[in-house]
Structure 1
Amino acid sequence: MSVAEPPVPEVSPTYPDLQGKVALITGIGQVGPKDSPFWGNGAATARLLSRNGVKIFGCDLNLPAAERTKERLLEEDTNAVVDVIAADVMKPSDVEALITTVMQRHGRIDILVNNVGQTSAGNPATMSEELWARQIDLNLSSVYRVCHHVLPIMQKQRSGSIINNASITAMRYIGKHQIAYAAAKAGVIRFTKAMGVMYAKENIRSNCVVPGLMYTPLVDNFAKSNDLGDQEAAKRILDHNCPMGWMGTGADVANAVVFLASSASRYVTSHELVVDGGITESTGTGFQASL
């Protein structure tokens, strides 16, 4: 298995208006070997925001993974302002503590990136009600939960940009039996769009990024694993039939998120920005229906 090289190099766009702002990023953790050149979506977003002078506050259920992101950011820039803590966005008490800690540290939240997400296999006939409920809570209710506490802060500031991470599974069937994840991510898109209209007059924008099948450290781990199940999972992802002929990375997701966080997108709200190399609009003949 191999990944085709992109025909153009990765770029790190600069948005001067972001300098000094504060970003809260959920799911900031970085997995994989320390020498991996790849970045997860949350970690890559933190990296690009930090390069633009943004103060980063991140959380993750896996504290060592969050600390790995912090370590990588400080390796690039010893002057970067990065704080990370452990938090479970499925627990209201953890979310409240998270927001309290951010405000104690910085006194404001200018950018919110809801990046937490995880999929579990199952169709309506086989998925248990317990797993369905957990998937909806993790992938959709967590977005509401964090916004519930951050929006009053942004209202007092009369400014803010919220970017939620969705998925192309919300827009079309991609050959994977992940019914709860697809339903939750569709809910994220609708939640994002409705919220954007509700708070537009208060100078709070709400948008979502919709990634396709991205080559992240998790996929890299699967591809290099000795476990046959992991190898099969990687093969299904890598056999993506992307019209552009190559897979995007966390950097491509980060570029979309940071654009939506900046004033370059000042007149953009209630929008879904698809970052998928054209998969959503393709025939999808390369997708495999089996798990």
Structure 2
Amino acid sequence: MAPPVPEVFPTYPDLAGKVALITGIGQVGPRDSPFWGNGAATARLLSRNGVKIFGCDLFLESAERTKERLLEENANAVVDVVKTDVMDPKDVEALVAAVIQRHGRVDILINNVGQTAVGNPADTSEELWARQIDINLTSVYRLCHHVLPIMQKQGSGNIINNASITAMRYIGKHQIAYASAKAAVIRFTKATGVMYGKENIRSNCVVPGLMYTPLVDNFAQSDDPGDREAAKKILDHNCPMGWMGTGLDVANGVVWLASGASRYVNSHELVIDGGITESTGTGFY
């Protein structure tokens, strides 16, 4: 069901002129889709607040699509996108060097990359386990490893990581590696916030639930029966609010955390799920 309330694009004047580095910025799905992925929607809302966007994605065409949509809304937006594999340490180092060369600073780091894989502890191969941990958790470490020293020199910074409700409870789908990695992202986020808080660097994370993004459409149209079944179960949800959130709902949480409006929020997990993790109803997949 479509959200019964209109989209809201809040304004945070303190964000104007800041620089945001966003991983996983690519927009997937049909070019004319009215929906935005979490990373693309976050870039959209930040851009509307005057933030300079430097984004990356494994698929450059997807990143370019996001840039195109942002410029369609605001021809004066400052948007750069590059291809980056966050599982490649050299790629990540080059990414951070590129944003510094372009803007000279990183005020906001948004670790948005994520990928799930089906498997329980008995049938998940060690190779799949390692890959899931790498892309969902180690990528967060890699970006923070290079960006935190920059934020320390600046005397300020803001890190927002993307977790998942699978980190908080079992939702009926065997994805042990993904759930473990996302749970670790929450712990990494909170510990980092404590370690760097006195240096005016905050670290928080958003915890999205079952969101209606272009990725859901991709699942529905996939040749993989497992993907199509996953899409069906997502769409047949039992969210207490009666409708699924969108990428903009995630973006609103991220941008609030990036702004001065949340200045005293640190080491926090902001759950954005319409109440589904507290629901005792069925409908999880």
Q: TM-score, normalised by structure 1?
A: 0.96
- The one-letter code matched in structure 2 to 1:59 is C
In structure 1, how many angstroms separate the alpha carbons of the residues matched to 2:65 and 2:177?
30
Q: Which of residues 109, 121, 124 in structure 2 aligns to 1:124?
A: 121
Structure 1 residue aligned with 2:134: 137
Look up the SS of the partner of 2:270 in the other structure: strand
* Per-residue deviation, residues 243-265 of structure 1 (Å, max 9, x unmatched): 00000000000000000000000
Kept in 2, the 8 Å contact 1:174–1:284? The answer is: no
Partner of 2:206: 209
Q: 1:157 aligns with which of 154, 158, 171?
A: 154
Equivalent runs, 1:1-291 vs 2, <5 Å: 4-224=1-221, 228-288=225-285
How far is the alpha carbon of 1:287 from its aligned partner? 2.2
Could you give the per-residue CA deviations for residues 196-254 of structure 1, whole angstroms, max 9, x where no partner exists? 00000000000000000100001023335576554322101112110000000000000
Unaligned runs of 5+ in 1: none
Q: Which amino acid aligns with 2:178?
A: Y
In 2, the alpha carbon distance for the partners of 1:246 and 1:222 equals 19
Residue type of the alignment partner of 1:198 = M
**Cα distance 1:193–1:227, how it changes in 2: closer, same or farther (>3 A)?**
closer
CA distance in 2, matches of 1:217, 1:21: 28
The code of the aligned residue for 1:241 comes to N
CA distance in 1, matches of 2:122, 2:218: 31
Please give the alpha-carbon distance, in whole angstroms, between the structure 2 residues aligned to 1:224 and 1:150: 37
Q: Distance in 2 between matches of 1:189 and 1:227?
A: 31
The superposition leaves residues 149-187 of structure 1 with CA deviations (integer Å, 9 ceiling, x where unpaired) of 000000011111100000000000000000000000000
Amino acid at match of 2:215: L
Aligned counterparts of 2:221 and 2:138: Cα–Cα separation in 1: 33
CA contact (8 A) 2:193 2:266 kept: yes
| Distance in 1, Cα, partners of 2:206 & 2:226 | 29
State the alpha-carbon separation in 1 of the partners of residues 101 and 224 from structure 2.
Answer: 44
Secondary structure in structure 2 of the residue aligned to 1:116: coil
Preserved CA contact (<8 Å) 1:163 1:206: yes
Length-normalised TM-score, structure 2: 0.98
* SS of match in other structure, 2:212: coil
> In structure 2, how many angstroms separate the alpha carbons of the residues matched to 1:287 and 1:108?
42
Shift of 1:284: 4.1
Q: Offset at 1:114?
A: 0.1
% of aligned pairs identical? Answer: 84
